[in-house]
A and B are shown apart, each in its own frame.
Chain A
Amino acid sequence: MASQRKVLLKVIILGESGVGKTSLMNQYVNKKFSNQYKATIGADFLTKEVPIDDRLVTMQIWDTAGQERFQSLGVAFYRGADCCVLVFDVNNAKSFETLESWRDEFLIQASPNNPENFPFVVIGNKIDMDESKRMVSQKRAMAWCQSKGNIPYFETSAKEAINVEQAFQTIAKNALQHEVNVKIDFHDPIKIDSDTPDNNGCAC
């Protein structure tokens, strides 16, 4: 690690309204949950310092409004993102079905240099609810993730703090990997990719 430079990783959380984006962010950063977070209007972010391997990085986690009507704001918020987290509610099929459009929209608006390799992570949230309410099976979600270039998939409960830490660890790692790759691409285009991204699929 030659660089002593502080690393800032920008992470964008996207997904339908009410799937728990704000809750996930707050659970991860503040270790708190409330079922009365107001609907996010516009965007906001929280930062958290995370040790990854032997370095300390700062994650800047952006929470966005879930209604697609406000997607046009995205271009201002998505720029410079290092990882995009797509969240759906496992009890709401529609929120899963719209992941594809969230992903596409993100790629259009953020226009990363290397869209095929841009790191996404998918989170199926609200697994604390009764199994009978479940509308999207793990299998179905993982199949979609695999079809999109092996996106890591996590099932979480922001309410019960289940798997949230693990999901964000992967988010941080993949974001850092992206950051580093971008730097390498930029400064030294000859260097070949040394590490493969950590795409190990479901960690639950």
Chain B
Amino acid sequence: MENDPLVAQMEDFELEQSALFAQPKLLFTRPKVYVKTSADNKDGMPGFISVIETINYEHILSWTPEASIPGLDEDAYVDISSQGDGEAPPRSPNTRRSFHPSDYEVNIPLQQIYSLLVYPPRMKDRHGSIIVNLMGGESLPAFYFHDDANKGKGPSGGPPSWGGQELLQHLEQVSDIVGSAIEPGVYLVNATQADKVNHGSASPPQASISHPLMPDAKDATHDNESLYPKLDVVDPLRSETNISMGASSPKAEDTGVATATGPITIEGMRRRRSPSRTNQESSTTASPSAGSGPPGPFARPRTPLPFENHIDPIITTVKEMRWTVLERFSQVARFSRETATNILDHPITKQILPPHVQQRIQESEAAKRVMDDYDSARVYLAKWAAAVADQGDRERRELQAMDRLHSGSFPGRHSHASDKRRINDHEDEEGPLGSFNVLDLETECAMIHHTRTEPLSPMDWFAFFDEQGRLTVTEAKVREAVFRGGIDHDIRIEVWKFFLGVYPWNSTEAERIVIRATKIEEYFALKREWFDSAAVQETEAFQEQKLRIEKDVHRTDRTISFFASETLPNPSGDFTGVGSNENLELLKDILLTYNVWAAKEPTVSTTIKPATPEDSSNSTSSSLSSAPSKETNLLEGYVQGMSDLLAPVFAVMGDEVMGFWAFVGLMEKTKKNFYRDQVGMQSQLETLGKLIQTLDPKLYKHLEKCEALNLFFCFRWLLIWFKREFEWVDIMRLWEVLFSDHLSTQFHLFVAMAILDKHRDVMMDHLQEFDEILKYVNDLSMTIDLEETLQDAEILYRRLECLANKVDAKRLELEQGSTSSSGSAPESSVAAVPELPPALRRLLTQKK
């Protein structure tokens, strides 16, 4: 098996993979790894343990609860790892869970792992387990490998394997794993030299990593229950490779203490490198020379090293690939043998698997039982990829933040996870602005910073005012402060009143007291129109509105304590069994009163600017009716979504009257979304479409291909300002940033663009139809990081602004050139400079 040519092919394939697809890879995964969630449940929660490689070749150890995997039909699930008979192991009986399974999800970069404590399965001890000890001294809950089905099925008649061993072998391929000579069962991960010395690792007797991991191995004598090993008893030595990589890791400091307890032996000093990676190898395999070193942190992962060539590459590959692809599918696809279709027909498989492996799988029995699944598999894969990419992205941001702290420089260059990728994309894709898109966006407009900072504190806020309570700074300054950091919750109740038009910016405290009194009167005058009038209440129209409002109020933010209780009987009676509370009743009153208020508004003029010819030429294929007319632009009563908008505003204001007026202010900003003709939504979706087309032409093309250019998957975002996409506290922060109108009165479109931008690679790689995009985007709800999104949104705004400036500068240059050098630059060249669509120009202004 030496130097199998397939190894070379695999290497090529890997390179190709990473170069072409540049997406996270699942290196290894194993099902039925349990985590005990409490002392009393017997088996705990089943999940999948995986090793993932990010696009930056960072590695992550991950555990995903089965229950958090959408669409996993537990009953129909067949463990394909059991290959032969397909007999699924019995499932744990626990199904009632009072927590959310995803709370238990684990995603740990390998560099944060200090050591692993490994308990192989023994005769009387059903399941092997692994405990992960982190750098900080914390430990993760033990992972129990319930993979009994694999027992006795080691390849090539080798000793039976268990999942923990396979996991270690995979970890070993991407990191330096060293067994401790002092603490049997302890394996140091990427240990420093000092750690290794202290652990007396590297001694030849333990040269094989697989040996001690075998079930019933002699040295696995952890009969004690001390699940948390004394990690301070450490120490070891590091290979030459690692020394050269910079031995000044934080761990080096710890070792000052640790060395005292760890014996340092000559053997301990010798590098220990297990040659044994698979079961068919015996522990007697000769140790490689120290010179052939393990892969350092920057070595290409999964590329077989010379001394590894004796591993059957097919077995390795098929195994890995089986897990990568088939196992993933097994989760999503709810396997059942009766309906098998060949997995190789699946487009994803074709993308991922090299031909010779495909052929191999075709011949395998296991694969024949595997069937593909349609869209949900793609959506699932997309989510998975996004989660992994997100992890890497977050770490990079943290690093950048650290860098900034250290260098003392103010907000650093933000880098999009997909920056590099996007540059490549632009090479073959020109946007509507031609070469401007390609060059300027990625070079000159690339060094753009966000300016996000801390929320406006009460101290800062009060400092803005003089003794009369009049603002001493400009309105613009307040807007900017709120845009950049939001508002401390304690002062929201006051600050929002300025932003929502309750108080004029130049008012004094005395004036505001008068305003409050007036607003109270005004409100109750409006409310009395329906509240005190039996005649009004009896009308069919009123009854219908009331019913509509009640239906929605009773399902608006009921998980928020402010709206949760059921202390009052439900007066409407329509919701039998559903109680009400004072705040819900006030929501209803406010919405009914708003109907009265809105009806009094003068006929709403069409504030949507009529589409210019240029606008419509590139217009997204929306089906919403156009032709705005004055008559139909009215709200005409309550529309779904309004209760979503009211709830936070009312909760922040805390009382009915101010809640109402603040809501009026918010509706001034959003009411076009609710007009009967939907022209407000249509226009926003079209503008968003242009934004995508200009800032990310490749994504635009992809959406076009998916027939998703109507952007209806963003409908909910825009209609209620992302209310369903973020947690309650985030909504308040997001909204005040939007209230600020600091950069743009349409900043929410940049927020939308930022979210799409974050997921654009995943969408382009995995999602091929409108359905899939809609599902994927809907399911982003409550997973989006607000701070990051706001940073990106600001940067995207600046990019557009930069682009606009470039275009203007170019025009000016050409115009001046043509006047000064008398016609050497003809008019036509000015005309040839692409123009930013007017809708996007409008985004760059603060005018409404």
Contact = CB atoms under 8 A, between A and B. Distances in A.
Contact of B641 (A41, A45, A49, A58): A41
Contact of A41 (B374, B575, B623, B640): B640
Given A70-B640, A73-B712, A38 B624 contact: no
Contacts of B576: 129-130, 133
A138 interface: no
Contacts of B778: 42, 44
B558 A36 contact: yes
A4 to B, nearest CB: 6
B643 A39 contact: yes
A66 B71 CA distance: 26
Contact-size category for A = 35 or more
B678 interface: yes
Interface in A3-41: 4, 6, 8, 17-18, 35-39, 41
Nearest to B543: A94
Contacts of B547: 92
A66 B548 CA distance: 11
Given A6-B341, A65-B640, 17 more contacts: A17-B551, A18-B548, A18-B551, A35-B555, A38-B724, A39-B556, A42-B713, A47-B71, A47-B376, A49-B73, A58-B374, A66-B640, A67-B639, A69-B674, A76-B710, A76-B770, A92-B574
Contacts of B640: 17, 39, 41, 65-67, 69-70
A56 B374 contact: no
A72 B374 contact: no
Interface in B353-408: 372-376
Nearest to A40: B640
Contacts of B339: 55-56
The 7 closest A-B pairs by CB, nearest first: A18-B551, A42-B715, A75-B623, A42-B716, A41-B716, A67-B640, A56-B339
Contact of B374 (A8, A36, A77): A8
A52 interface: no
A17 B549 CA distance: 11
Given A41-B640, A69-B676, A76 B376 contact: no
B775 interface: yes
Contacts of A72: 623-625, 678
A66 B555 CA distance: 14
B678 A69 contact: yes
A81 to B, nearest CB: 12
A190 to B, nearest CB: 30
B555 A44 contact: no
A69 B341 contact: no
A60 B623 contact: no
Interface in A64-97: 65-67, 69-70, 72-73, 75-77, 91-92, 94
Contacts of A203: none
A36 B716 contact: no
A150 to B, nearest CB: 31
Interface in B693-719: 710, 712-713, 715-716, 719
8 contacts: A35-B577, A37-B555, A41-B724, A44-B775, A47-B375, A66-B640, A67-B548, A72-B678
Interface in A122-143: 129-130, 133
A43 interface: yes
Contacts of B771: 45, 60
Nearest to A65: B640
Contacts of A76: 623, 710, 712, 770
A65 B682 CA distance: 17
Contacts of B770: 76
Contacts of A37: 555
Given A41-B641, A76-B623, A133-B576, A94 B544 contact: yes
Nearest to B711: A76
Contacts of A36: 555, 558-559
Contacts of B601: none
A116 to B, nearest CB: 24
A53 B20 CA distance: 44
B774 interface: yes
Nearest to A91: B574
B447 interface: no
A70 B674 CA distance: 9
Contacts of B551: 17-18, 39
B527 to A, nearest CB: 24
B453 interface: no
A137 B492 CA distance: 51
Interface string A103-134: 00000000000000000000000000110010
A75 B678 CA distance: 14
